[in-house]
Every structure is written in C-alpha cells, then in structure tokens.
Chain A
Amino acid sequence: MQAKKRYLILLSAGACVLLLSFLGGLQLPAARSRQDRSRTGHRPDQPWPHFSDPLHPFVPWDHTDTEEYNVHVSPRQKRDVNTSVYKGRRCRMDSCFDFSVCQRTGFKVYVYPQQKGDKISESYQNILATIEGSRFYTSDPGQACLFVLSLDTLDRDQLSPQYVHNLKTKVQNLPLWNDGRNHLIFNLYSGTWPDYTEDLGFDIGQAMLAKASISTENFRPNFDVSIPLFSKEHPRTGGERGFLRYNSIPPFRKYMLVFKGKRYLTGIGSDTRNALYHVHNAEDVVLLTTCKHGKDWQKHKDARCDKDNAEYDKYDYKEMLHNSTFCLVPRGRRLGSFRFLEALQAACVPVMLSNGWELPFSEIIDWNTAAVIGDERLLLQIPTTVRSIHQDKILSLRQQTQFLWEAYFSSVEKIVLTTLEIIQDRVLEHSSRSSLMWNSHPGGLFALPQYSGYLGDFPFFYATLGIKPHPKFTAVIHAVSPLVSQSQPILKLLVAVAKSQYCAQIIVLWNCDKALPAKHRWPATSVPVIVIEGENKVMSSRFLPYETIVTDAVLSLDEDTVLSTTEVDFAFTVWQSFPERIVGYPARSHFWDSNKERWGYTSKWTNDYSMVLTGAAIYHRYYHYLYTNYLPSSLKNMVDQLANCEDILMNFLVSAVTKLPPIKVTQKKQYKETMMGQVRNTRSTPVNTCSSPSSRASRWADPDHFAQRQTCMNKFASWFGAMPLVHSQMRLDPVLFKDQVSILRKKYRDIERL
C-alpha cells in the first residue's frame, strides 16, 4: 500500500515534470525559429546583426600613421618617376606640363606665326584672333606658359575639304614643339566614317587637347578640356543672347520633349536615333527622324523611312525648339552635336542621350543644374523621367541654360577664353575659382580669382552666402586742379562727404602736375584723408584697385561735384540693396542713331537713362579691379589719350557683367542747373595739363569733347561685341520724397529742401 501510493505520487510528479519540459519545449523552438529568420535576413528592420565580439579596429594603433615611410624612396624621386611614366594617354598636369615657365611670367599664351600658304579655316582664324586679342597673349615665346599652333587642327576628318595634310611633319618641324609640352591643340572633328575614332591623325605628344565630342574614355581629366561643337557661323565676339525673354509660370510649353534630325540606319551611333520612334507620340513628345541624307539613302532605307520622312516634314524645327520644355540631344555619329548649343540658347532644357560624352567644360560646369543627363540604355524611360521633374526645377534648369549660354558659349571668344581660364585655374591652383564662381551669375569670365579667394569680397555672392557688404564706403576724389583757394568746390565736397555717417575714409587722387598741397591745406575731418599721387596722371588711374580702399563700396567723385551729406548718405543706403550695380547721380543715355548707323550719346533730360557717371556714384571696389585687369589696354589707352570716356567705359563694363542698368537716385533740386551745367563742363581740361580753375575753359564747350564720347561708345560697343548698356526708367527716391507730410517726418529732408 505504502509503496503503491509512493509510485502513484512519483508518477504524477513525473507527469508534471514532463508537462513542464513540454511547455518549455514549445517555447524553445519558437525562439529558434525567430533567430533563424533573422539569420536568413527576412526581417527588414534589423538585417545586419549586432555582433557582441570585441572587433579589431581596421588599422592597429601603432600603425596610425603610415609605417616606415622614411625607408622608402624620396618623394622627389617618386615625383620624377611619375613624370616619366605617365605620358601619352595617361598625361596629367603633374606629368606632362611644365609649371615653371608659368610661375616666372604668369599665364601667357603664345601663338605661332602663320606661315604663308597654310590654309586656315574661318573658325580657327577666330580662335587665334581671340587669343591674340586677349589679355593672355604674348608675342614672345620666351614669356609663354602655353603655346597654340597656327596650323589648323580643327577638322581632322580625312574626307573633309578642310583637312590639313602632312600635319605630322609640319608639327614635328616646329622649333618650339618640345614633344608638345605646354601646347594646346583645338579640335572639333576627328576620325571619319565608319568608326569615327578620336585620333587626330598625328602624334600630339604631351600636348593638351581642347576637343569637341570627346569621350570619357579618352578624356584625360584635368588635362584636356572638352569644348562644345560650334558651327562656322558661330560669331567671333558678342554673340546672340539667349532666347528667354521672360519666365512663364507654370513653366510648361506646348511640347514636353522634341527632337528633329537625321537617322543613321546602320553603324556607329545609329541605335539610339533608330529607336526614337518608340517614344514619339505626335502630341507632346515629338521625336522626328529622316533617312534623307547622303547620296544614296534610297538604297539603304528601311521599312519605316517613308513614314518617318513624311512625319519629319510636317514640323518646323525652329517652332519646335522655341516651344518645347525639353529638347532631346542624342548622339550622332560622333558624341557631340550642334543640337546641344541650339537647345541651350533656345532655353529648351537639353536631355542628353550620348553615353560616354564628356560634356563641354565638364571640369567647371555642373551640368545637372542646366540639363537632364539621360542614359541611352533607358531611352524608353525618358518621357516618364522628364515628366517627373518638378516645375520649380524646370524653371531653374531653364534659367541656368541661359546663364551658361551667355557666360561661356555664345561666341567663339567665350569658348576660347573659358578654355584658357580653366587652364589658368589649374596653373595657379591656390588662386582659382570655386565651383560656385563658375556656376552662378556672372560666371567665371567676370569673377577673377586673382582679386580674392573670398567670395564675400565680390559684389555677386552676398545673397548666396547670406551676408552683407561692409557698412561703410571709401570716397575717391579725382583732383585735377591745383589748390589755390579755400572756397574751391573740392574742399566743400571733402567736408560734406566726411560728415557722412557711412564714410570710412577719403582718398584724394592727385592727378594734377602741380605739387601736392601741404597737409594743413586740407580741411580737418573726422575721417582719415589719404592723398595719393597719381602715377602717370592718366584718367584710368582713378579706377586702379588701390590697396588703401578697404571698404566694399567706393564713392567716386569728380573734384567739382556738388553733393550734400544727406545725398551721400541716401545714395549709400540705396547701394547696400544693389551692391553689384552703379548707384549715383548724373545719369546719361545712349541711343541707336539709325541715320548714321551708329550709337549715339545724349545728356539731355530724358525719361530714361542707361549710365550713371562716375563723377558722383557708388559702386563696388571689385569694379576697380575688373576695369584695370579685365579690359584690354587698347580701350584703356584710348581713355587715357582722350582724357575722356572713362565713366562710359565703367558703365559698359558693369552692365556687361550685371546685364542690368545702373541706378539713379534723387538729387537736390537746386543743383539741377549746376549739374546740368556740369554735363557741359565736368572736366574742362585734359588731366595731364593741370591748370588753375579760373582759367578752365569748358571742355564741354569744345565740340570735340562730345564727339569723342560718341566715338568712345562705338569703339567700346565693338570690343564688347554688343551694346551692353540697358535702359532704365526708374529713379530711387527716399520713401516720403515730396509726399504731403510734415518735412520733419522725413529722414532725408535736405534732398527736397530748396
């Protein structure tokens, strides 16, 4: 009995233990299966496991700095090895370019003299003329950092009539060739049917290529320059402006995507154009091809040709170009095509279908801001892709096409200068442009990095950087008359300007042959007055970038300008809102004289103006630098010889940069007559013959003076390639100006007080 009971109890206890282990067992597989799931990676949230082990660092502590470097070859030797190994297709600036010449003389470009009998195409003539007219040009090969051939290398297609024969020997015989070191070779076409290789048909040695349609495979980064394909008709200077006149919002045009061009039935580059019909919908996506090109197209034509040709003739290319949001730019036989520049100018956002094309000036241009880089392999996705682009983005892409077109592409001159500036940036590496300077208004050709590496020192980037210009100005008074009496206008002007709360300092530029007046002759002022003796006493010296100018703003004054402190204060507050423009008082205008077929200059009271004279104007000190370093000496010399027109030239320059008119501000009424008079006698004598003010015969009375200004206008316009001046009908007045409120409430009340 006792034993039986004992067994019973043992049995039930055993059952309980079993039950327990069973329940536990249920639990275990559940956990295991979860673990398995995470191992096979089907739980999306935590797929890479947390390892509990202490893992080693990827580099042991005692190897933090590179190990045992000192036992290895000297870095100098290593550099020499690189220089000797990396040649030809592996050329880089480090291995195929001699920097030492450029350091001695700066970035100067030499053009070989043209030999009689060499035929040179018009395009290449334009390239050479641009270089010879640029500030980089030197006629002394000993001074040169870069050499450009006078042999036409633009068209290296053997079948082309422009093809130059025997280039190989001609190049090898050049005395300064030096295996092409520091040479730049321009090329638009290379190779020929059927394979269109990128070989130029002669040994370029260590020369750099500025080449159109270059492929990423052949492009040597930071050595070659990819240039756009341009036509014979591409203008040498100036160039047409972009077609965009105003922004429309929403930015969609009649067509979404268009293309009209040849179709190659077979051979290199034919695939993409042959497939375009898949995407064409005859509504908003209009992609047209024709088989009609070449002599015997009929022989090779395929089943679609007739239908395609018929559709092709229905549409006008120009109409499509101007009315489409996007323009397809598929490769042709070669990678680049004329379509690219055409679309860019027409503000039709290019959609690139040219795999492996190193886009023009890719080293400095961020093409994603102005084009859609498509992939030939994904042609069928292109319509979906362009439709997915938000309208804000389209608006921005479109404006950027116009900016880039006008900054770098609209003329041969711009293309060539951009090429040279890119190379200069490489040569003077620590004073080169940042990407922002290349890709935003006004572009790299107008933003010179030698002026400053700091973006805030330029007038163009305040908004982008979220900063403001320096809150004071430096006045520069151009003195041409000797100081004979204490009532001379220059002394009154000095006192009035010095009283301005925004005045940091006054510079008197002494451009008078008479000796500097003694210090005590100048009135005592609360701001420092610095007298600088003009070096050559020439007109242009008033725009030299003097280091003593420490403020962003310059108030430029003639010695006989009459201005009150209030006027100065007001003009400066206006300038702070428009730091890239000229803000000032005496306004003038230009007009097209259709009888004489030339530009005319007028000082009459008109309803609009396009210049504000620098006898009383505020502008950014960067324009001093640009005037001195950007403009060619031919124009500056003209100004100096005439002792006239420097103010017109400054207006041309600033408007060419900003593409905007200057700003005229209000003037005290009582001076109107004097100012009007001043039009006639601002500077009565040539500066270098400094006479006493009393004996000043009005130079404006001299009819030559006015005629000179007309001549200047036309000379300047021809150098700029177009008329950069822009008219304005607006004058900026103080907010309560002439309003029917108490004069005491007006901050700038002196301006309207008689």
Chain B
Amino acid sequence: MYTSGKYSSRGPALIPRMKTKHRIYYITLFSVVLLGLIATGMFQFWPHSIESTADWTLDKRSVHDAPLIRLPVSSPIPERGDLSCRMHTCFDVYRCGYNPKNRIKVYIYPLQRFVDELGVPISSTGLSREYNDLLSAISDSDFYTDDITRACLFIPSIDVLNQNSLRIRETAQALAMLPRWDKGMNHLLFNMLPGGPPDYNTALDVPRDRALLAGGGFSTWTYRQGYDVSIPVYSPLSADVEQPEKQPGPRRYFILSSQTAIHREYRAELERLKEENGEALLLLDKCSNLSQGAASARKRCYKGQVYDYPQILQESSFCVVLRGARLGQAALSDVLQAGCVPVILADSYILPFSEVLDWKRASVVIPEEKLSEMYTILKSIPHRQVEEMQRQAHWFWEAYFSSMKAIGLTTLQIINDRIYPYAARTYEQWNNPPVVKWSSVNSPLFLPLIPPRAPGFTAVVLTYDRVESLFRVITEISKVPSLAKLLVVWNNQNKSPPEGEKKFKCPECTAIDGLSLDQTHMVERSECINKFASVFGTMPLKVVEHRADPVLYKDDFPEKLKSFPNIGSL
C-alpha cells in the first residue's frame, strides 16, 4: 500500500497511475505473456534433442491409426497356389535385375486394417508381436527399400503367421487387393502354424496365387523345393528365458521328452522305452495341478515332480521332438537353444532352412515307425559326434532360430542366394560355428595335384646391394634344368641395378653377411612374429620335426645313381 502511494506521489510516470488491484492484474498478465514468448522461443530454437524425443513419441504410433480397408464380398480371390511353381516359372527375375551388390531389394507394404463389409476384421489378433518384430527387422536391414518401383520382393503387412487366427477367404481377398499383387508374383508370405482341424494341412490354406511361402511345417508333398522356404516355428520362450550356454559334453539324462501334446499312441511307446531303459530317459508332461497360463508353459512334471522348462532341456544329451497335429514344433527351437541334440520324429517333414543347413550334423532323424528303436539308434552314436552335434545345435539356434529377426533375415538370404547363386553364401559360411570358422584350415589349393615338371619354376631373387652374392646365386641357379624364368627384385632405391655382366666390388658385403647373427636382427624378427600373431588373432605357424630329402639322401649308395647327388654337400 505504502509503496504504491509513493509512486503515485512522483507525478507523471511511464506506468500510468492506476488502481493497485489493476496494476497487479496487468503485471501478472505481462509476465504471463513474456514467459509464454520465452517458452515458445526456446521451443523453437532448442537443439534437436527435444525435437527427436518429440519425434519418438510421435513415431510410437498405434496400430489403430492404420487405415481401415473394407473388403467387398465380391472382391476377387487369388488362386490356390500352384504346386509346380519354381523360380524360373513363377518368379519375375527382371525385377531384381543386375545388381553389383548382389542383394535383392525388399519392400514392405504399409500397415492396413482389413475388415469385411460388416466391419469384422479378417484376423482375430491383427498384427502380432512376432510379425511386427519380423517386419521391423527387415526394414532395418540392408535388404529394405522404401521404393516400391525398385523392389524385387514384396512383403505384405497382413499377418498370416498363425492360420488359426485368420479368416481364410477374406485374408486371400485382402492379399489380392495389394497394389502390386500381380498374381502374387514376387510376394513372400510368412506362416508358422499352417492348417487347422481336423486334418491340418502342412501349408497355409490361404489361396495365394504364385506367392512364395516361408512356412513352418511343410511336408515333402506341399514344399516346392527351390521355391518355398521352410522356416522354424518361433518359440517365444527364446526371448523370455536367459540361459547360460552349456558346453557340449555328457549330461544327466540321455533322452528327454518334454512336449505336452504327444499323441497317446506315441506316449505309450515312450513309456515303454522308459520302462526298458530307466533313469536314462526322462519323460515329462503337463503339470495337472497347475493353473493354465503363461506360468504353466514354463513347468513340466513327472510323477508329481516339477521341473523348470526350458531349463531342464540342458540336462539331457538328446531331446525328442515328435510331430503333433502339425509337423513343425516350437519345441525344436527350445531344444536347440539348450544345446540338446534334437531327435526328430516327423515323417515327411522338411526341416527348417534345409536348403542351406546340414541337419545331419546337428540332429538325428528317425522314422516315426522306429520310435521303439530310438534308444538303440542313439546309443550307437559315438560320444564325440554327440558333442559336435550339441555344439552345432546350439549354433543353429543362435544364428537362425533365436529371434524373428534371425528367422526373417535368414529367409531373405536364402532367396537372395537363389537369385544370385554365383554370390551365394557357402556351405561353410552357413554351417560352421564361429569356433570352427576360426580354427579350420581351408587351403585355396585344395585339390590333390602333383604338378608336372614341364612348366618348371620361376626363381625370384630379392636383393639389396650385395651384388657379388647376387651373381653367385644367379650363376648357380641358372644351371638348374627346370628353371623357367629368373626374376631379380632390386630393393634399393639409392642405387640403380647393375647392368649386364658388370661386376661390382662390395667391401661391406662380408659385414652384412653376418647379419643374421646380429642380436638386434633376431629381436626385431621376434617382434615381427608377435605382431603378426596378434593381427592374425592366433599363431598360424605349426611346428614339425621332419624335413624333406631325396629318397637316397646320404645313403651308402653310388652317388652317380642318385637323382640328387649333391644335396647337402655345400
């Protein structure tokens, strides 16, 4: 009060005299405006960090934002799929073109929500977590292109991983509505659970024209070799359960069966095996006393004893993977992860990625009919082979089964290898675990050839400036009948090489001759060896105790009858 009175007594001022309550009102108003301006300014000119966080929240969109597409009842349905399709008949290779990187370009259709005329979605789950992971992985990969006109392969965003959640006819209609569908040419569908009750087809039932199918659970009768790709059934446990890698070696149980939905005929057979072989077999089933839900999927029981799944798999050398209603089983993935050798009993099943993976080195395939002989068959496998298979099994999981990303990119690489076969990944690249890749020796000259003498050899002489010794070498070596060419590498920038037969005197030569005795020289060479070994990551040199001599070397035998009489005489 007092202050304001003081102001008012000071005569005319910039701030018009007014009632105190008004003044407070205006000051508040101005400061609000000012603060607002400052805040706006800051918002405008703040560096990118704020912007990108804003972007992040904006990019994190909802699947419900995807445009809604209503399918007319009369919308066309693709044809069922042609069993005779092969890359050269049903795939348009011109879209892939010549490509210096030898890499195909893959386009992903943007997400759409398809509903029928009544507004009912074509799929009960919509976009699944796994399919979303798969598509994000592909879009982050080198295969991805956002340019539909340059794409070689098209991936619909319609999720058909699990046929059970699909309305077959409507899904097919939705596929046919894709802008570049063109009879499914160069389109790739991913399906892990094909077929449905009662007869469970082994390939996706959705009519799909010429589209390629990456399917989990193909049989030899539905799989179009060289066209379709057989993929694993992803196990969600892979992401949930962290397990330390277990080294190959003998384990507590010999054979373990952990699947819960085994046909009673087969379960009876397994129980018979268990009776015969006792402790070596562990035969697990669902726990009857546990409530349904995510937790029960992580438990298995045997006679009231509860075991943790999938951890228990690490306790066995072999793990049974029996067919269910479908041929492809998610259990295969769990088993491989545990480094347990899968014993696969699923007649006519096309094993995952069998086009490139050598399953004989990682699994045992037994005809269903021979289930009763399983124990005998497995016992006949040498221990070292079991260990190699355990290692190989875990490696397959790690490289090709562990995530939707791994599954998706492996599928694309296989298709890529077909389109650019001359740049395809090799058997070793696909099948050798890193430890083998490091330790194995693959000579670039691997063919056992004994070269003929006729072309002779080329002598390469490295010289610095010891000309006398150089001439001695040249004179000696030119006497050799098999010499085809002699190459002298003059390694001295300060001197030009001698011409013709001119001889130089070289007083310092004798001094340099003693070079190899020089202590520092030896130290330097040791340092080189250490440096090279560290760059190679390993010591590639091997020590042997033998040396090659002529057959009759130093034998008590007339010298004139020896092919190489003078060796060792120097």
Q: Chain A residues in contact with chain B, CB under 8 A?
A: 2, 5-6, 9, 13, 16-17, 19-20, 23-24, 26-27, 31, 34-35, 38-39, 41-44, 46-53, 55-59, 61-70, 72-76, 79, 82, 86, 90, 92, 94, 99, 216-217, 221-222, 244-247, 355-356, 366, 368-369, 372-373, 375-378, 381, 384-386, 388-389, 392-393, 395-396, 399, 402-403, 429-430, 432-436, 439-441, 452-457, 463-467, 570, 573-574, 577, 587, 605-609, 658-660, 664-666, 669, 672, 726, 728-735, 737-738, 747-748
Q: Is the CB of B547 within 8 A of A660?
A: no
Residues A435 and B427 in contact, CB atoms below 8 Å apart: yes
Q: Is the CB of A221 within 8 A of B225?
A: yes
Q: Is B304 an interface residue (CB 8 A)?
A: no
- B446 interface residue (CB < 8 Å to A): yes
Closest to B41 in A: A23
Partner of A65, one of B22, B62, B260, B266: B260
Minimum C-beta distance from B460 to chain A (A):
14
Known: A2-B18, A356-B86, A735-B546. A373 touches B421 (CB 8 A): yes
Q: Which residues of B contact A436 (CB under 8 A)?
A: 358, 361, 427, 431
Q: What chain A residues lie within 8 Å of B549 (beta carbons)?
A: 666, 730-733, 737
* Residue pair A466, B440 in contact (C-beta under 8 Å): yes
In whole angstroms, how far apart are the Cα atoms of A43 and B422 in the complex?
32
Asked whether A55 and B551 contact (CB < 8 A) given A69-B324, A245-B452, A453-B382, the answer is no
B221 touches A465 (CB 8 A): no
A244-B449, A605-B552 known; A573-B546 Cβ under 8 A = yes
CB neighbours (8 Å) of A355 from chain B are 88
Q: CB < 8 Å: which of A66, A76, A440, A607 contacts B551?
A: A607
Contact A403–B226 (Cβ < 8 Å) = no
Extra pairs beyond A59-B192, A356-B89 (13, CB < 8 Å)? A2-B18, A13-B33, A17-B33, A27-B43, A56-B128, A58-B234, A92-B220, A368-B424, A376-B88, A377-B94, A381-B98, A388-B100, A574-B546
Whether A454 contacts B385 in the complex (CB less than 8 A), given A16-B33, A664-B551, comes out as yes
User: At the interface, yes or no: B247 with Cβ under 8 Å from chain A?
Assistant: no
Which A residues are CB-close (under 8 A) to B265? Answer: 74-76
| Cβ contact within 8 Å between A247 and B449 | yes
Which of A23, A55, A399 counts the most chain B CB atoms within 10 A?
Answer: A55
Partner of B130, one of A16, A57, A75, A99: A57
Cβ A454 vs Cβ B369 within 8 A: no
Give the number of A-B contacts (CB < 8 Å). Answer: 368
A605 B365 Cβ-Cβ under 8 A:
no
Residues from chain A with Cβ under 8 Å of B63 in the complex: 51, 53, 55
Q: Is the CB of B89 within 8 A of A48?
A: no
Would you mind naming 19 contact pairs between A and B with Cβ atoms under 8 Å apart?
A24-B40, A42-B146, A47-B146, A49-B111, A51-B127, A53-B64, A56-B128, A79-B369, A244-B449, A355-B88, A372-B422, A388-B422, A399-B447, A430-B365, A433-B360, A453-B382, A463-B441, A464-B441, A466-B441
B159 within 8 A of A: yes
Q: Top 8 nearest A-B pairs by Cβ distance?
A: A466-B439, A66-B324, A454-B385, A48-B139, A58-B128, A16-B33, A355-B88, A65-B261
Residues of A near B447 (CB, < 8 A) are 244, 247, 399, 402-403, 441
A463 to B30, CA, bound (A): 83
Asked if residues A56 and B126 are in contact (CB atoms below 8 Å), the reply is yes
B444 within 8 A of A: yes
Smallest distance from the beta carbon of A735 to chain B beta carbons, Å? 5
B37 touches A19 (CB 8 A): yes
Within 8 A of A (CB), among B19-57: 22, 26, 29-30, 33, 36-37, 40-41, 43-44, 54-55
Contacting residues, chain B, for A6 (C-beta < 8 A): 22
Q: How far is the CA of A455 from the CA of B547 in the complex (A)?
A: 29
- Check if B436 is an interface residue, CB within 8 A of chain A: yes
B266 contacts A356, CB within 8 Å?
A: no
Question: In the complex, A573 Cα to B40 Cα: how many Å?
Answer: 82
The residues of B that contact A747 with a CB separation of less than 8 Å are 545
Question: Which residues from B are CB-within-8-Å of A86?
Answer: 221
Chain B contacts of A67 at CB under 8 A? 197, 261, 325
Contacts A53-B64, A217-B86, A246-B455 known; A44 to B563 CB distance under 8 Å? no
Pair A735/B547 contact, Cβ less than 8 Å = yes
Are B88 and A356 in touch, CB under 8 angstroms?
A: yes
Say whether B108 faces chain A, with CB atoms less than 8 Å apart: yes
Option from B60, B259, B553, B564 in Cβ contact (under 8 Å) with A51 = B60
Whether A385 contacts B293 by the Cβ 8 Å rule is: no
Q: Which of B542-565 contact A (CB under 8 A)?
A: 544-557, 561-564
B297 x A31 contact (CB < 8 A): no
Task: Choose one: A5, A20, A378, A726; the contact of B36 (CB below 8 Å).
Answer: A20
Contact A44 B30 (CB under 8 A): no
B162 at the interface (CB under 8 A from A): yes
Chain A, residue nearest B377 (CB): A430
B325 touches A52 (CB 8 A): no
Query: Smallest distance from the beta carbon of A662 to chain B beta carbons, Å?
Result: 12
